[in-house]
Amino acid sequence: MKHVIKREQLRPDIIQTIEELSGQDIKSCYQCGKCSAGCPIAADMDVPPNQVIRQLQLGFVDEALRLKTIWLCASCETCTTRCPREVDLAAVMDALRNIAIQKGIRSPERAVTLFNKIFLSTVKRYGRVFEMELIGMFNTGTLNFFKDMTKAPKLFFKGRLKLFPNFTGRKMANTVFKDVKRIKSSGPEENSEPSKGI
Amino acid sequence: METTAGSKKALKFAYYPGCSLHATAVDYNESTLAVAEALGIDLVEVPDWSCCGSTPAHCTDELLAAALPAKNMIAAGTVADEMLVCCSACFSRLKFAQKHIEEKENIRTKLSKIMPVEQAQSIKVRHLLDVLVQDIGVEKIAELKQQDLGLKVACYYGCLLTRPPKVTELDDAEDPCFMDDLLTAAGMETVPWPYKTECCGASFSLTRTEIVLRLVADILQMAKEAEVDCISVACPLCHANLDMRQSDIKKKLGLKYDIPIFYFTQLLGMAFGLEQGKLGIGRSLVDCKELLAAKGIK
């Protein structure tokens, strides 16, 4: 990578947001690479996990937020479990994903973000996951209409696929989604203290 | 030996099945209920429970990811002091929510505006495997054994059951053995193998199928090299990937495994002599009837 690192870039305010969201100290990482060595998905990522932390350490936050890596992380917690500096990298990935969504940054792994969105919308609507609609909407959204469709009848006859949603948990989920939206819109002043760089 | 179950108070749990156990993992639900009944564990379903939010929630919004589990834990607290979870992913999300509420002031104060968070914190979240080993005990499992299955099993723990250990507070994260202990007590042979905690790709099954096929093929290959009859799992997502994706692995990667995948509760249930119909045997896509017939398991 060819990059010029300016002094003022080294610790932008957003790093503090990432550290607060994840509860991690980005500086703790000493780049041993153990996270990337154990990551089951590292081979499919554009940048291995340890280098995501390195980008943050050097202030390349915008670049990090646009990586495929943050969306390909399966949250399997291998890195978190093995890190000798006890950096919870999976939590950092979560923070980066949350921020990328808040900022409306276009995900390079559209299928993954679309799936997440549809998943949550079905949970909001029915209270529990409704697989038929989830897969149907996902396939429509990715224009891959027949993906995994041969599995549906098999699963149905094995009693593992329901044709209709279950509404039992609807009230609970509905309340949670509504309440979370309310406290998020009402209390931005609490978490936006003036951030101090170094 | 008699101290294990008899002298202890009756085991009662608020049972949180999670979405999968009411759909693609209906066999896990059936076998859990059957085994719990055989062991005298009282399960009361969490009233009107909802989804825990799973991976999409924590990828999207940390507040939502804590709020959904918290609300379910509060509901669970109305029926029992401890909550029983079978799905490793739900288990992980519930435990994570408790940890985040405890450690992150921002989440705690915000959630306390919309729900009594201290109630969510007071309930103990337990995974079924842990309850069977700690509360029931392997001696009791051995006592209940009715038939020798004669199966050689690879116990597959997956990621979220033991990782990260600070959250799950269960067995060793790199080499867990508690599922092995249970199945050994029930008369099965379990093998040491290197992929017991490797990731199966979980929710990428739909979104990045080719990654999941590669990961699952590796796991199946290792199990094959360990010369096992079947794989035992404790998570509906592991089961879905290992079972449903075998035909795709054959088609796309040209690798044929045909290794039957069971939930550990199904194996325990069969060892206890419970009816296969009650354990959801035969609902998986990879045929297991042939193996069971060859071993003379009824």
Residue B245 CB burial class (10 angstroms; 0-12, 13-18, ≥19)? buried
B155 pLDDT more than 80:
yes
Count, in order, helices (H) and strands (E) of chain A: 12, 0
| A81 to B207: CB separation less than 8 angstroms, yes or no | no
Residue A31 DSSP symbol? -
Tens of pLDDT, residues B78-104: 999 999 999 999 999 999 999 999 999
Range(s) for CATH 1.10.1060.10 in chain A?
A: 7-102
Question: Helix axis angle, A89-102 relative to A49-57, nearest 10°?
Answer: 70
Are A28 and A85 a contacting pair, CB within 8 Å? yes
Q: Which amino acid is at B87?
A: C
CA distance A167 to B87: 20
Are B65 and B53 a contacting pair, CB within 8 Å? yes
Alpha carbon of residue A132 to chain centroid: 24
In DSSP notation, A58-84 reads TT-HHHHHT-SHHHH-----HHHHH-T
**For the ranges A11-15, B17-21, B112-116, which has the lowest average pLDDT?**
A11-15
Backbone dihedral angles phi then psi of residue B192, each to the nearest 5 degrees: -80, 130
Are B21 and B86 a contacting pair, CB within 8 Å? yes
Residue A162, min C-alpha distance to chain B (Å): 6
Q: Which residues contact B112 (CB under 8 A, 6 or more apart)?
A: none
Tens of pLDDT, residues A146-197: 888 889 899 999 999 999 999 999 999 999 999 999 998 876 544 443 333 3
Give the domain A7-102 fold: Fumarate Reductase Iron-sulfur Protein; Chain B, domain 2 (1.10.1060)
Tens of pLDDT, residues B243-281: 999 999 999 999 999 999 999 999 999 999 999 999 999
Which residues of chain B lie closer than 8 angstroms to A101, CB-CB? 60-61
B4 pLDDT more than 80:
no
Confidence of residue B8 (pLDDT cuts 50, 70, 90): low
Residue B109 forms contact with A (CB below 8 Å): yes
Shortest CB distance from B24 goes to which of A77, A161, A177?
A: A161
3-state SS class at B90: helix
A3 pLDDT more than 90:
no
Tens of pLDDT, residues A87-130: 999 999 999 999 999 999 999 999 999 999 999 999 999 999 99
Chain B residue nearest residue A162, CA to CA: B23
In DSSP notation, B182-238 reads HHHHTT-EE---TTTT----TTHHHHSHHHHHHHHHHHHHHHHHTT-SEEEES-HHH
Q: Name the token pair of B184.
A: 């050994």
Chain B residue nearest residue A163, CA to CA: B23
Residue B54 forms contact with A (CB below 8 Å): yes
Complex-level ipTM: 0.93
Give the domain B142-294 fold: Rossmann fold (3.40.50)
Q: Distance from first CA to last CA of chain B, Å, rounded?
A: 28
Give me the architecture of the B12-128 domain, per CATH.
Answer: Up-down Bundle (1.20)
Quick one: pLDDT at residue A48?
A: 98
Quick one: pLDDT at residue A188?
A: 52
Tell me what the mean pLDDT of segment A31-45 comes to.
97
Are B86 and B18 a contacting pair, CB within 8 Å? yes
- Domain range list for chain B: 12-128, 142-294
CA distance B127 to B122: 16
Cα dihedral: B215, B221, B226, B228 (round 10) = 100
Residue B87 DSSP symbol? -
- In B23-100, DSSP assigns E strands to 42-45, 82-85
Residue B112 forms contact with A (CB below 8 Å): no
Confidence of residue B1 (pLDDT cuts 50, 70, 90): very low
Quick one: pLDDT at residue A12?
A: 83
Per the omega criterion (within 30 degrees of 0), is the bond before B164 cis? Answer: yes
Shortest CB distance from B58 goes to which of A94, A161, A175?
A: A94
Tens of pLDDT, residues A55-96: 999 999 999 999 999 999 999 999 999 999 999 999 999 999
Look at residues B58, B94, B22, B205 and name the one whose alpha carbon lies nearest to residue A126: B22
CA distance B102 to B119: 12
| A21 to B61: CB separation less than 8 angstroms, yes or no | no
Quick one: pLDDT at residue A193?
A: 39
Q: Which amino acid is at A73?
A: C
Q: Which residues contact B66 (CB under 8 A, 6 or more apart)?
A: B96, B97, B100, B101, B107, B111
Quick one: pLDDT at residue B10?
A: 81
- B residues 2-21 closer than 8 Å to A (CB): 19-20
Angle (CA) B63-B67-B71 rounded to 5° is 175
A10 pLDDT more than 90:
no
Chain B residue nearest residue A179, CA to CA: B114
Q: Name the token pair of A44.
A: 């499919």
On average, the pLDDT of chain A sits at 91
Look at residues A62, A50, A124 and name the one whose alpha carbon lies nearest to residue A96: A62
CA distance A79 to B110: 29
Residue B118 CB burial class (10 angstroms; 0-12, 13-18, ≥19)? exposed
B216 pLDDT more than 60:
yes
3-state SS class at B44: strand
| B163 to A76: CB separation less than 8 angstroms, yes or no | yes
Quick one: pLDDT at residue A68?
A: 97
Residue B296 CB burial class (10 angstroms; 0-12, 13-18, ≥19)? exposed
